[in-house]
Chains A and B, each alone.
Chain A
């Protein structure tokens, strides 16, 4: 015995109300007027109704609104054709195809169910009903009917209808506060007024869109993904999905966004400090692994720029979550002196296919087939390094080093500060022109060409930054002759490959305070369920 189908009460074309179950055996057939197979089945259903009369309640929920009357008249139907134009009953019964046929017990449990028009199935159904009711079989010219015709898709599965029905049935799924916006209010303007925006228009996060977005992850809507500073707001999957809708994400971006959010909300990354610093830091998200191509991320031409939906909206959604759920808003906890455009979005994929090196995530201990996000707190960039002349590996690596002089201030060295270096394919080709040139060699070359005597760091009339004069005097001339590279260690130099094949322009992101008092880069494997 199957589970009983949900009860319903629908209005017929004639105006009466018909309830299911009604206390006797019934035949319920879902149809729509423009389905040819439903039109094939209609005379058969009418014949069954005439043959079995009051002993079998025949009900026909029709999905076609006003056209249901046309359908009933076309076939001279004398049983109740019911109005299911909103498709709620079709949704509740979870059908897929019309005609969808149910022969049911008086308690609403299903005796038999099939879809479409397979003549043998209908013929068997007629015989079984006759037997069960102890009545002669309905007289139907079966040979005049087609042997087999597939049905049509149920109308309730049309995306715009299905999403609405799902949203209406989602009381236990969506728990975020619902905000009703009056007819006279412009939704987009309302969202600006409420401070939900980063300054650009947002996609309204309707329940339908949010449910669709939640379909992109296996995480349950009320799972806690992260507690987001500075307000320690709770980012559930649902809240993540709401902000993802507003940012313009597709559902399949959700796993990347969730991993990025988990990464920035760690103690190591310290999104509170990244948000609050007057220096104006922002998360830079690098994506590695198979997910890059699966969701259509840009790793090639213009990878750090505009034009790619995944790159643009994943980074934007992360920033919206920090602002909306975490409460990190400019002028509030966010105190950047100047800010920077990365505070809108900064997310790109590594061009692993164009790289001769282990990709970033492999360097950081993951398998190549893992999909991984890595987040860096960066205050500036991308800053170009232009070298179109070098033809020797050591030359182009040297230029890249010189290009990094400007991190913080050219004069400052020995910095415990991250940089994220994005090497372009043409610079890669030059580096590889005389054999394999490793990332370690590039890091060493950067440190080599940026090394200068400490004496050049002493505060002077040109610039008061660096080693205070009094400290320098205490150090003495010999100590000041010692040389210091740009970065306090090779580990501060993070290297990825991105960009198109044409152009000798690599680029760098400049970091913020790196380490326990500032921010440390964090990698997170993307949970693809």
Chain B
């Protein structure tokens, strides 16, 4: 582990922050299957519940070529261009 000293006036926390929440659910939601066994089952159920809870949203499904490697850059850009939110079904 490397320790560095904060170069700022320290008025903001340095921990990585989660993206600000909008409070509403609309637009396009992507569901990314990383290709671990039965990830699709989890995402099927998530899609069903999302559509029930928020009928206006569009759901798009994606799947990585393999869970063993990072998502290819082209695919990342493709997903980013198509969706407003992304849910990644990690594994197991």
- Which residues of A approach B to under 8 Å, CB–CB? 174, 176-183, 187, 191, 193-194, 196, 204-207, 210, 228, 231, 233-234, 238-239, 242-243, 246, 320, 324-327
Most buried by A among B6, B8, B9: B8
Q: How far is the CA of A176 from the CA of B6 in the complex (A)?
A: 6
B15 to chain A: closest residue by CB: A179
A179 B8 Cβ-Cβ under 8 A? no
Docked complex Cα distance between A324 and B9 (Å): 7
Known interface pairs A193-B16, A194-B14, A231-B11; A181-B3 also in contact (CB < 8 Å): yes
Whether A177 pairs with B1 at a CB distance below 8 angstroms is: no
Contact across chains for A174 and B5 when beta carbons are under 8 A apart:
yes
Contacts of B16 in A (CB 8 A): 193
* Cross-chain contact of B7 among A193, A205, A234 (Cβ < 8 A): A205
Interface residues of B in 31-80 (CB under 8 A from A): none
- Contact A243–B7 (Cβ < 8 Å): yes
Q: Quick check: is B2 within 8 A (CB to CB) of the other chain?
A: yes
Main secondary structure of the interface of B (DSSP, over half): loop
Residues of chain A contacted by B8 (CB below 8 angstroms): 196, 233, 324-325, 327
User: In this complex, what residue of B is CB-closest to A184?
Assistant: B1
**Chain B count of residues within 8 A CB distance of the other chain:** 13
List, sorted by A's number, 26 A–B pairs whose CB atoms are closer than 8 Å.
A176-B7, A177-B5, A177-B6, A178-B3, A178-B4, A178-B6, A179-B3, A180-B2, A181-B4, A182-B1, A187-B2, A204-B4, A205-B4, A205-B7, A206-B2, A206-B3, A207-B5, A231-B9, A233-B9, A242-B5, A242-B7, A243-B7, A320-B7, A324-B9, A326-B9, A327-B11
Q: Which A residues are CB-close (under 8 A) to B5?
A: 174, 176-179, 205-207, 210, 238, 242
Q: How far is the CA of A243 from the CA of B4 in the complex (A)?
A: 11
B10-A177 in contact (CB<8A): yes
Residues of chain A within 8 A of B9, CB atoms compared: 228, 231, 233-234, 239, 324-327
Nearest 6 CB-CB pairings of A with B: A233-B9, A177-B6, A176-B5, A324-B7, A242-B7, A324-B8
Q: Which residues of A contact B3 (CB under 8 A)?
A: 178-181, 206-207
Which residues of B have CB within 8 Å of A231?
9, 11
Distance in Å: Cβ of B71 to nearest Cβ of chain A: 17
Contact call A180/B6, Cβ cutoff below 8 A: no
In the complex, A177 Cα to B3 Cα: how many Å? 10
Q: How far is the CA of A187 from the CA of B14 in the complex (A)?
A: 13
Q: With A and B bound together, what is the CA distance between A415 and B9 in angstroms?
A: 38
> How distant is A169 from chain B, measured CB to nearest CB, in Å?
15
Q: Is the CB of A177 within 8 A of B2?
A: no
Q: Give complex CA distance A204, B10 in Å.
A: 17
Residue of A nearest to B6 (CB): A177
Residues of A within 8 A of B14 (CB): 177, 179, 194
Verify B1–A181 contact, CB threshold 8 A.
yes
Please measure, in the bound complex, the distance between the C-alpha atom of A71 and the C-alpha atom of B59, giving whole angstroms: 71
CB distance from B81 to the nearest CB of A (A): 22
- What is the chain B residue whose CB lies nearest that of A233? B9
Q: Least Cβ distance of A220 to chain B in Å?
A: 16
Contact (A196, B1) CB under 8 Å given A177-B14, A179-B14: no
Interface centre among A176, A207, A228, A246 (most CB of B within 10 A): A176
| Docked CA distance A181–B3 (Å) | 6
